[in-house]
Amino acid sequence: MTLREAVLAVVATAALVFVQTAPASAQPADLWTVTNVAVDATGASPSAAKDAALSKGRQRAWTEVFRRVTPSTQWQAQPPITDAELEPMVKSFDISNEKHSSTRYLATVTYVFNPSSVRSALRKSGTQFSESKAKPVLVVALSGSAWSPESSWGKAWSAQSQRGRLVPVTVPRGDDQDRAALATISTAADWAVVKPLADRYGASSVLVATAGKSGGGLGVNLAHIKPDGRTAKNGTYAPQGAEDEFALANRAAGTIADSLQEDWKRTTSVDYGQQASLNVGITFNSLAEWVATRRGLESVKLIQVLAVEELNMRNARVRLDYVGKTDQLQTALSQTNLYLISDAQGNWTLSRNAGATAANPGSVVP
């Protein structure tokens, strides 16, 4: 068997395993799916009311997608898109809780956007945006001093973990191994305490979020714990309108989860007019490791072309054509546990070892 045949066999096996196992667990919504959009409109006929409602919903969903991939400083510059332009950008939609009369239509809609259409619209408008996903932040939601997934606060964070974000939030499953670790965690914890749980979920950091009643609102204390230290914040959220306990908790959790995105989006938002190439050397110990490395490279959206120029049993040389800056490429690669480093002579190599360089290129941790 030649090297190329062996590589193809490993790829085929890995792909088969992926296809067979992927449905086994539910996945959070991706960046391009906007769920639970409430629509309500009137019209001269039932069909006119429905069309008007779905049109309004598309615009709201487009705004959410735009805000997911851009820092808040750009939100005022959101490019206007007509409904005629926007409608073909929606790949599919799903309607639930439908109610209608002869002149009014109400429903809850999930919109799924076509990623390539969104990218084209953003690039055409000259918008700098990010598709580089960070490793998740693990949220430990405490009510008082106890982890309580069935509380409104715990359920709110479970709901937030299903939303598409560049910095995903995830929550513990709550099995016996989790519970043993969770019993030792509080807002006073340090990285040594939370690291075993973070490692279990592939998280870059842990947010310990404690909530309790404060006057008529919700008081929140946060400790964001990272390998290089911790930050603490607190605040109070007052109910708005007829919000019940869960709605208030969910709004507070959503606001906090969104705030985790800002530094990441500012750092990784890319000017798609800025293009460059790098020749990179890669060393691997097995064909399986090469396949995993190549799959990691292919998952990085900044890389427009991956050209394999040399390949043998232990080494490869590839050309990466990419958009954005080199440090943005390094940051994006680090989220897939690939580390792009340069020696004193300017030769670039790709390593799966974060300690291969004194200055970790993935040091931007949300």
Q: Quick one: tokens of 90?
A: 């929606």
Q: Residue 339: is its pLDDT beyond 60?
A: yes
Q: Residue 12: is its pLDDT beyond 70?
A: no
CATH code of the domain containing 236: 3.40.50
Give the residue from 162, 120, 189 showing the smallest Cα distance to 26.
162
Contact 256, 220 (CB under 8 A): yes
SS3 284: coil
Q: Residue 250: is its pLDDT beyond 90?
A: yes
Contact 340, 348 (CB under 8 A): yes
Q: Do 252 and 288 have their domain in common?
A: no
Give the residues across from 148 on adjacent strands: none
- pLDDT, tens digit (0-9, with 9 covering 90-100), for 48-79: 999 999 999 999 999 999 999 999 989 998 98
SS3 175: coil
Contact 279, 348 (CB under 8 A): yes
CATH code of the domain containing 276: 3.30.70
Q: Is residue 283 part of a domain?
A: yes
How do beta strands 33-42 and 104-113 pair? antiparallel
Q: Do 263 and 274 have their domain in common?
A: no
Q: Do 109 and 179 have their domain in common?
A: no
Q: Do 278 and 250 have their domain in common?
A: no
Q: Do 261 and 332 have their domain in common?
A: no
- Token look-up 């507070």 returns 252
Going across the sheet that includes 33-42, the strands are 33-42, 104-113, 90-100
CA neighbours closer than 13 Å in the CB half-sphere of residue 11: 12
Mean residue pLDDT across the chain: 87
Percent of the chain surpassing pLDDT 90: 72
- pLDDT, tens digit (0-9, with 9 covering 90-100), for 102-154: 999 999 999 999 999 999 999 999 899 998 889 999 999 999 888 989 999 99
Q: Do 161 and 228 have their domain in common?
A: yes
Q: Quick one: tokens of 178?
A: 């989790």
Residue 223 exposed, middle or buried by CB count within 10 Å (0-12, 13-18, 19+): buried
Domain residue limits at 258: 137-267
Question: What is residue 18's predicted lDDT score, i.e. its pLDDT?
Answer: 33
SS3 270: strand
Q: Is residue 13 part of a domain?
A: no
Q: Do 147 and 201 have their domain in common?
A: yes
- pLDDT, tens digit (0-9, with 9 covering 90-100), for 163-220: 989 999 999 999 988 988 898 888 888 999 999 999 999 999 999 999 999 888 999 9
Domain end call among 243, 267, 291: 267
- The pTM for the full model equals 0.75
Residue 200: count of CB within 10 angstroms of its CB: 14
Q: Do 250 and 281 have their domain in common?
A: no
Q: Quick one: tokens of 116?
A: 């390539």
Q: Is residue 102 part of a domain?
A: yes
Q: Do 260 and 299 have their domain in common?
A: no
Q: Do 255 and 278 have their domain in common?
A: no
- pLDDT, tens digit (0-9, with 9 covering 90-100), for 18-32: 333 333 333 456 899
Q: Do 151 and 209 have their domain in common?
A: yes
Q: Do 305 and 327 have their domain in common?
A: yes
How many domains is the chain built from? 3
Residue 343: count of CB within 10 angstroms of its CB: 9
